Amino acid sequence: MINLSYRFDQNSSSLELAGMPDVSNGDSEKTIGILSSWTLKIIGSPLLEGEKEHLDNLMQVILQYSRSYVSGIKKTFVSNKNIVKISPYGNKHRLLLNSTKKGVKALEIILDDSELADLTRCFDLLRFDPRFNLTWSIKLDTPYTKKFINKNLNKSTSKLSLFYSLLIFISSSAFLLLLPINNRFDVKGNNSSQTSTERTK
């Protein structure tokens, strides 16, 4: 049997897959049609590995999340069986990986924008690579409608807009209250001008 191994490297991520051709499906000797193992290295995080189902769920969630994030929509995505979950975490991204084995604690990985971009790039390279004849459970990249984007943007920014509006109103009010109102100066000025004209008369 021919054992093949291909790797996709980005700055902070390295994805490696091993497998063999599926002869019954007519795969060439350089094509992986049966996946035997995979490993994912993210700088500063433990080595990830598992079955094809785990990689499938990870790809699905990361690609959907990245696509929404680029469109300005910050929301949580969860895979089937709650194996993978990713959500906004301040100005970063919180990736939560739940093991299918009982008693194994969930793994949390915090990604910044560049690390998320590297991971997304690895998965994009994999799914469009002709050396793989594997079926992935990933939704088609249909463009978001303007209605969908506006609806989700309103949900994520409406509370912040209200907060900032209130903050600006309070700041402006406080600033106006601190401005000195010197009415006496105007009154004295008028009186002095009147007396000076009376004296000249």
Distance CA 53, CA 50 (A): 8
Distance CA 173, CA 169 (A): 6
- Residue-by-residue DSSP string for 99-114: -SSTTPPPEEEEE-HH
Question: What percent of the chain has a predicted confidence (pLDDT) above 70?
Answer: 69
Looking up tokens 């994912």 gives 40
Question: pLDDT, tens digit, for every residue of 122-174?
Answer: 999 999 999 999 999 887 666 655 665 566 655 555 555 555 565 576 666 66
CB-based contacts of 177: which residues, under 8 Å, 6+ apart? Answer: none
Question: pLDDT, tens digit, for every residue of 87-114?
Answer: 999 999 999 998 877 778 889 999 999 9
Angle at 67 between CA 61 and CA 70, to 5 degrees: 135
Distance CA 143, CA 183 (A): 63
Q: At what angle do helices 113-127 and 52-70 cross, to 10 degrees?
A: 120
pTM, 2 dp: 0.71
Distance CA 128, CA 122 (A): 10
Task: Catalogue the long-range contacts made by 133-136 (C-beta closer than 8 Å, 24 or more residues apart).
Answer: 133/22, 133/25, 133/27, 133/31, 133/32, 133/33, 134/32, 134/33, 134/35, 134/52, 136/56, 136/59, 136/60
Question: pLDDT, tens digit, for every residue of 34-46?
Answer: 999 999 999 999 9
Q: Which of 70-74, 147-151, 169-173, 192-196 has the highest mean pLDDT?
A: 70-74
